[in-house]
Amino acid sequence: MSTRFHTSFAAVFTNEVLLSTKRVAPYVLIVLFAANKVLWWAKGPAVGLGWATNSVFNITRDYTGFCFLLGLPIFTGIFMGDPIVRDFRLGVDPLIFSKPIGRAAYILGKFFGNFFVLVVCQSAFAVTAFLLQWVPFSGMVVLPVRVVPFVTHFIIIVVISHLMLGAIYFAAGTLTRNAKVVYVIAASFYPVYVAFELLVMKNLPVVFRVLLDPLGFNTHRLQGMNAWDQTAEFLNAYVVTYDLTAYVNRVSMVVIAAILLFIVYRRFTIAPLNEASHFTGLKLSSAPERLAYAAPSGGFLDSGTYELTERDRIPLPQVTSTRSTFSKLLAALETEFRLLRAERSLLVLVVLVILLSIVNLPPYRMVPEVSYSVMFATNTANTLFVLLTGLIVFYTGETLHRERELKVEPIVWSTPVSNSVLLLSKYLAMVSLTLVLVLVVSLIAIGSQLLRGHTLEISAYVIVHGVLLVPGILFMTAFVVALNVLLRNKYVAYVIAVGTGAGLVYLYNLGYTHWLYNPLLYRIWTYPDLTTRPMLMKRLFCLGLTAVCLGLAHLFFERKTR
C-alpha cells in the first residue's frame, strides 16, 4: 500500500482516537466494565462453588458473559454506528473530502480508530480480571498468576465477536447516514439474538451451533458436559480448547467483517443522499473577521425608492396572546407526533416489535398455570419490557436533543412557552407511542388466542399490562427524560441508562430483587399478586419515582424561565 494511504489512514485513525478521548462515554464504559468485573469476582458463583477465579474455565466463562451482558452489543452500536455520520452531521465532510484522501484510508481509519477505542474500553474488564489475581479474598481459590489466557481468550471471544458486530453497525450507519437505523439494530440485538438461539440454534446439531454462533457462545463449551455437574477441581484444571469448527467460526466472523467493510468501500458516497433533506441544519456562512464591504454604504436608503407591492400591504392580524398552557401543550404534542411519525427507523422498529412479540407468544403445547390469557399476557409483557426499554432509551434521547441538533432551539426557546410544556410534550409523546405499541401487541395476542380457540379473559391483559407495563413505561420514560436533562449529552445518557439497566439486571439475577430498587418488579411478581394491596403500594411507589424524575427534569432543564 502506498505511503499516502498509510499517512491518511494514520491521520484519520489518530483523529478518531483523539476525538474519543474528549468524549465522556469511553471513560464511563471503562469504569462500568471494571466495576462489573469486581462485582462478578466478589459476588459471582466462583467463590461459593470453589472455582478458581483465574482458571481458564472461569476466564472464558466471564468473557462469554461479558460479551453478551452489560449491554456490550448496544455499546458497540453506539461507538461504531456514528463515526462517518458524525462528519456529515457536523458539516466537516467538505473540509475532509476536499483533501487528497483515499476512500479506503478514510473508511478504514474511521472504523479501526473507533474499534480500537472500543477494545480499549472492553479491555478494562480483562485488565481488572488480570489484576485481581493479586487481591486476596476470603474463601476464594486462586491459581498461580497467569497472563496468556487473559489475552488469547479476550481476543478470540470478545474482540472477534464485536469486530463483526461493529462492522454491521458501521456499515448500517455509514450507508444510511442515519444513526437512528443503528439504534434500531442495536436495540433489537437482544430479542433477535435470543430468538435466533431459541428458534434456530436450539434445534441444530452441535457442529452447526458452534459454526453459526456470532458471539462464539458454543465455541468453547465443555465438550457437551454441564459445568454445574463438574467438581471445582476438574474445572480448575480444565484447559479450554477450540476445535477446527470453532476456528472456522471465528475466522468467518473476521471474513464477514471484511466483506461488510468492502461493501461500505464500494457503496460509500460523499454525495448528498436522497434522504438528506430529512436532516436539516442551516449553515449560514459565518461572518468574516472584518467588516464587509458588501455594497456601497456611503448613501443612506431612501425608503421612497422601493415601491411597495401588494403582498407587502397584507395586514397581519392583531394577536391576542393568551396564557393557555394546555393549548400550547396540545400544539407541542401534535408536533412531536408529526416528527415521530416521520421517523422511518421508528416505523421499522414498530414492525419489529410486533413481529418479535408474535414470535415470543407461547407455543401450542404449553399448558398454562392459571389460564391461557394470563400466560399470553405475561409473555407479551415480558417481551415488551425488553423491547420498549430499548425504544424508550434511544427515542426519548433523540426527542429531547432534537431541537439542539436541528438548531431549532433558539426559535422554540424564545417563545413564551413554559418548560413544563416543552418537557411534558416530549414525555407524553413517548409514553403514548409505547402505550399504542402495548395495545397493538395485546390485540395481536388476543387475536392469536381466538385463532387457537382459547377462552378469552380480557381482564388478564388489563391487569398484567395495566398494573405492570403502564407504570413501568411511565417510570422508565421519566427516568430517561431526567437522565438526558441532567447529563445534557444523549450518548452519555445512553451509556448510563443501558449500564444502569444491565447492572440492575445482574443484581436481580443474583437474587437482590427488593422492590425498593426494582420498580419494574423484575422477577418478583405472580399473577395473583397483581390485585393485592401490597402491589398497589409498590405501583404507587413506582409512580412516585416517576414524579420525582419529572420534577428533577423540570428543575434542571437548561432553559431558564425566571
Partner 1 sequence: MLVIKDLVKTYPSGVQALKGVNLELSPGVFGLLGPNGSGKTTLMKIVATLLDPDSGTIEMNGADLINRKDHTREMLGYLPQDFGLYPTLTAWQMLDYLAKLKGVTNRKERHSLVDALLERVNLGAERSQRLGEFSGGMRQRFGIAQALIGEPQLIIVDEPTAGLDPEERLRFHNLLSETANENTVVILSTHIVSDVSNLCTRMAIIRQGKILSACSPRQVVDELKESVWEGTVPREQLSAFKSEFNVISSRTFDGDARVRVISKAQRPHGEFTQATPVLEDYYFDLVNRQN
Closest to partner 1 by CB, 267 vs 407, is 407
| Residue 145 CB coordination number (10 Å) | 9
**Minimal distance, residue 315 CB to partner 1, in Å:** 7
Could you say which of 38, 256, 386, 412 contacts partner 1 (CB under 8 A)?
412
Q: Does 331 bind partner 1 (CB under 8 A)?
A: yes
Q: How far is the CB of 324 from partner 1 (least distance, A)?
A: 6
**Stretch of 115-123, 325-333, 436-444, 512-520 contacting partner 1, by CB under 8 A:** 325-333
The residues, ordered by sequence, that sit 6+ positions from 199 with a Cβ below 8 Å of its Cβ are 359
Q: Do the beta carbons of residue 250 and residue 214 sit within 8 Å? A: no
- Measured between alpha carbons, how far is 540 from 223 in angstroms, rounded to an integer? 50
- DSSP one-letter string for 531-545: GSHHHHHHHHHHHHH
Q: Does residue 22 bind partner 1 (CB under 8 A)? A: no
Q: What are phi and psi of 156, to 5 degrees?
A: -70, -45
511 binds partner 1, rule: CB under 8 A: no
Among 282, 477, 440, which residue's Cα sits nearest to residue 352?
A: 440
Q: Which of 4, 6, 267, 338 binds partner 1 (CB under 8 A)?
A: 338
- Sorted by sequence, the CB contacts under 8 Å of residue 66 that are 6+ apart come out as 33, 36, 37, 72, 122, 125, 158
Rounded to a whole number of angstroms, the minimum distance from the CB of residue 18 to partner 1 is: 19
Residue 410 sits in the site that holds partner 1 (CB under 8 A): yes
Cα radius of gyration (the chain): 27
d(CA 247, CA 156): 9
145's CB contacts (< 8 A; 6+ apart) are: 54, 133, 134
147 exposure class (CB count in 10 Å sphere: 0-12, 13-18, 19+): exposed
The DSSP output letter for 102 is -
Q: What CA–CA distance (Å, rounded) separates 70 from 506?
A: 8
Does 244 bind partner 1 (CB under 8 A)? Our answer is no
Does residue 406 bind partner 1 (CB under 8 A)? yes
For the CB of residue 334, give the shortest distance to partner 1 in the complex, in Å.
8
Under the binding rule (CB under 8 A), the answer on residue 7 touching partner 1 is: no
The nearest distance, CB 83 to partner 1, in angstroms, is: 22
202 binds partner 1 (CB under 8 A): no
| Residue number, 319 or 451, with CB nearest to partner 1 | 319
Eight-class DSSP state of 519: T
Site residues (CB under 8 A) for partner 1, limited to 121-160: none
Residue 110 in contact with partner 1, rule: CB under 8 A: no
Site for partner 1 (CB under 8 A): which residue of 266, 365, 533, 560? Answer: 560
Q: Which stretch binds partner 1 (CB under 8 A): 125-133, 166-174, 246-254, 293-301?
A: 293-301
Of residues 305-324, those binding partner 1 (CB under 8 A): 306, 308, 311-312, 314-324
Taking CB under 8 A as the rule, does residue 94 contact partner 1? no
The whole-angstrom separation of Cα 12 and Cα 18 is: 10
Q: Let me know the angle formed at the C-alpha of 552 by 551 and 553, rounded to the nearest 5 degrees.
A: 90
The residue from 282, 367, 451, 516 that contacts partner 1 (CB under 8 A) is 282
Among 285, 365, 367, 455, binds partner 1 (CB under 8 A): 285
**Going by C-beta distance under 8 Å and a sequence separation of 6 or more, which residues neighbour residue 87?**
93, 96
* C-alpha cell recorded at residue 188: 433489537
339 binds partner 1 (CB under 8 A): yes
Q: Compute how many other C-beta atoms are within 10 angstroms of the C-beta atom of residue 311.
A: 6
The C-alpha angle 132, 138, 141, rounded to 5 degrees, equals 60
Q: Least Å distance between CB 82 and partner 1? A: 19
Closer to partner 1 by CB, 147 or 294: give it.
294
SS3 242: coil
**Considering beta carbons, is residue 358 or 406 the nearer one to partner 1?**
406
Residue with Cβ nearer partner 1 (2 or 277)? 277
Among 180, 250, 328, 490, binds partner 1 (CB under 8 A): 328
Judged by beta carbon, residue 297 or residue 455, the one nearer partner 1 is 297
- What are the angstrom distances between the C-alpha of 350 and each of 187, 335, 371, 445, 468? 12, 20, 28, 16, 21
Does 435 engage in binding with partner 1 (CB under 8 A)? no
Q: Which of 136, 416, 453, 534 binds partner 1 (CB under 8 A)?
A: 416
Given candidates 145, 148, 239, 294, which one binds partner 1 under the rule CB under 8 A?
294
Q: Is 413 in the site for partner 1 (CB under 8 A)?
A: yes
Q: Residues 156 to 185: which contact partner 1 by CB under 8 A?
A: none
Is position 274 an interface residue for partner 1 (rule: CB under 8 A)? Answer: no
Residue 57, SS3 per DSSP: helix
From the list 224, 296, 363, 453, which residue makes contact with partner 1 (rule: CB under 8 A)?
296
**Cell triple for residue 28?**
464511563
Out of 2, 3, 98, 415, the residue judged to bind partner 1 by CB under 8 A: 415
Contact 248, 211 (CB under 8 A): yes
Q: Is 224 in the site for partner 1 (CB under 8 A)?
A: no
Residue 321, Cβ density class (10 Å: 0-12 exposed, 13-18 middle, ≥19 buried):
exposed
- Applying CB under 8 A, the site for partner 1 has a residue count of 67
Distance CA 365, CA 114 (A): 47
> Which span (67-75, 217-225, 327-335, 437-445) binds partner 1, by CB under 8 A?
327-335
- Nearer to partner 1 by Cβ, of 454 and 559: the residue is 559
488 binding partner 1? (CB under 8 A):
no
Gap between the Cα atoms of 250 and 260, Å rounded:
16
Interface with partner 1, residue 2, by CB under 8 A = no
The binding site for partner 1 (CB under 8 A) comprises 277-301, 303, 306, 308, 311-312, 314-324, 327-328, 331-332, 334-335, 338-339, 342, 405-408, 410-418, 559-562
